[in-house]
């Protein structure tokens, strides 16, 4: 095989990894603070992609304005999911929370099928494609990558440099100690869910550059996102960031060398094996 294909696959992997990192960090933030895996997280992204599609294509808004709508929709959805579904069962059995968001996944998928049919919907953008040393780099991939890296940096500063960000990190370290200090975890939960939803909204606005949206979009990226979070260490933001690129490289290169499905199979098998070898994630110290 021409090595240029491998180089191209590796670059595509990095570009995909940027957007996956956004998804994984949003989900991981919620997990770190609330100790809940939102199984329906990527389905919220799917709703945000529909928001971009409708505002851009049907209402004729410019793409950046539709993207802002998607951000707002994501944040609102995040808060909504927390208040309506998670909040009532926060103290219940952990598995019920997992299953409740699983029910949400079902609801969102079928509601989207019901409302908008199973047609694939695309936002048509005419953006240039650059050729460097025989490798094609479409702007539809470079722009989302650049924006998601900026967003990841912004999230980093939000968590480390702001008061509320520090509070969020404190809750994720020790929930009970935070309430003993007189802080209300409920407010932190809502802010976390909103930020997590915001990340979903941004990811939706960026994913629609490259992918068409349909009701089962969540199934395409959902399992992968959970795998990345666990691989990086649930709640570990740096680990999730690195894991996104590992997984996207395996998928991109495996997809070129063998086949798309086998790329995913290899990624999932590596995930399963890693769970046995390093259950705390790639950055965890071995006990």
Partner 1 sequence: MSRGRLLGGALLLIFAAAPFVPMGGVQQYVLHVAIQIFIWSFIGQAWSLMGRFGLVSLGHGAFLGVGAYTTTLLWNFYSLTPWIGALLAVAASVALAVVLGIPCFRFRVIGHYFALVTLAVGEVIRLLIIAERDWTGGSLGASLKTAGTASGLWTLQFADKRVFYYASLGLFLAGLWVWDRVDRSMARSALEAIGEDETAAASVGIRVTRFKLGITMVSAALTALGGVLYAQYISYVNPDTLSGIGVSLKIVFAVVLGGMYSLMGPLVGTALTTALAEGLRIAFGLKFLGMADTIYGLLLIIFIIFLPSGIYGSIREALRRRTAGVRS
CB nearer to partner 1: pick between 62 and 279:
279
Considering only residues 23, 104, 198, 246, which one is a binding residue for partner 1 as defined by CB under 8 A? 104
Cα separation, 135 vs 256, in Å, equals 15
Q: Is 114 in the site for partner 1 (CB under 8 A)?
A: yes
Considering only residues 135, 143, 219, 282, which one is a binding residue for partner 1 as defined by CB under 8 A? 219
CB nearer to partner 1: pick between 148 and 192:
192
Do residues 254 and 263 touch, judged by C-beta distance below 8 A?
yes
CB nearer to partner 1: pick between 104 and 246:
104
Q: Is 109 in the site for partner 1 (CB under 8 A)?
A: yes
**Which listed range, 14-22, 46-54, 197-205, 269-277, lies at the site for partner 1 (CB under 8 A)?**
269-277
Considering only residues 59, 96, 150, 184, which one is a binding residue for partner 1 as defined by CB under 8 A? 96
**Which listed range, 5-13, 45-53, 182-190, 273-281, lies at the site for partner 1 (CB under 8 A)?**
273-281
Do residues 284 and 233 touch, judged by C-beta distance below 8 A?
yes
Q: Strands, E, within the chain: which ranges?
A: 129-132, 135-138
Q: Is 112 in the site for partner 1 (CB under 8 A)?
A: yes
Cα separation, 154 vs 165, in Å, equals 11
What is the CA angle 172-160-187, rounded to 5? 50
CB nearer to partner 1: pick between 109 and 248:
109
Cα separation, 155 vs 8, in Å, equals 29
Q: Which phi-psi region, left, alpha or beta, contains residue 247 (left: φ > 0; alpha: ψ -120 to 50)?
A: alpha
Considering only residues 276, 285, 286, 287, which one is a binding residue for partner 1 as defined by CB under 8 A? 276
Q: What phi, psi does 2 have (nearest 5°)?
A: -60, 125
Three-state SS letters, 175-195 = HHHHHHCCCCHHHHHHHHHHH
Q: Is 223 in the site for partner 1 (CB under 8 A)?
A: yes
CB nearer to partner 1: pick between 93 and 133:
93
What is the Cα 97 distance to its own chain's centre?
A: 19
Contact positions vs partner 1 (CB under 8 A): 37, 85, 88-89, 92-96, 98-100, 102-115, 117-118, 215, 219, 222-223, 226-227, 230, 234, 259, 261-262, 264-265, 268-269, 271-272, 275-276, 279
């Amino acid at each position: 095989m021409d090595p240029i294909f491998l180089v191209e696959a590796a670059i595509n992997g990095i570009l995909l990894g940027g957007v996956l990192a956004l998804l994984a960090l949003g989900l991981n933030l919620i997990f770190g603070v609330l100790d809940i895996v939102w199984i329906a997280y990527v389905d919220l992204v799917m709703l945000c992609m529909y928001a971009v599609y409708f505002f851009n294509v049907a209402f004729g808004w410019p793409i950046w304005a539709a993207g802002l709508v998607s951000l707002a929709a994501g944040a609102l959805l995040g808060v909504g999911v927390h208040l309506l579904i998670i909040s009532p069962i926060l103290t219940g059995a952990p598995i019920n929370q997992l299953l409740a968001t699983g029910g949400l996944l079902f609801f969102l998928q079928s509601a989207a099928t019901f409302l908008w049919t199973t047609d694939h919907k695309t936002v048509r953008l005419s953006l240039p494609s650059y050729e460097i040393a025989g490798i094609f780099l479409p702007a539809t991939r470079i722009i989302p990558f650049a924006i998601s890296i900026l967003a990841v940096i912004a999230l980093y500063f939000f968590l480390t440099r702001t008061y509320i960000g520090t509070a969020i990190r404190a809750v994720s370290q020790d929930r009970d100690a935070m309430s003993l200090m007189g802080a209300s975890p409920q407010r932190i939960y809502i802010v976390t869910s909103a930020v997590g939803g915001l990340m979903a909204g941004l990811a939706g606005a960026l994913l629609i550059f490259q992918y068409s949206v349909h009701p089962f979009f969540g199934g395409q990226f959902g399992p992968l996102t959970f795998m990345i979070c666990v691989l990086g260490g649930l709640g570990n933001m740096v680990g999730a960031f690195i894991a996104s690129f590992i997984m996207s490289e395996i998928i991109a290169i495996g997809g070129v060398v063998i086949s798309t499905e086998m790329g995913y199979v290899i990624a999932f098998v590596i995930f399963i094996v890693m769970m046995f070898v390093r259950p705390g994630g790639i950055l965890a110290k071995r006990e």
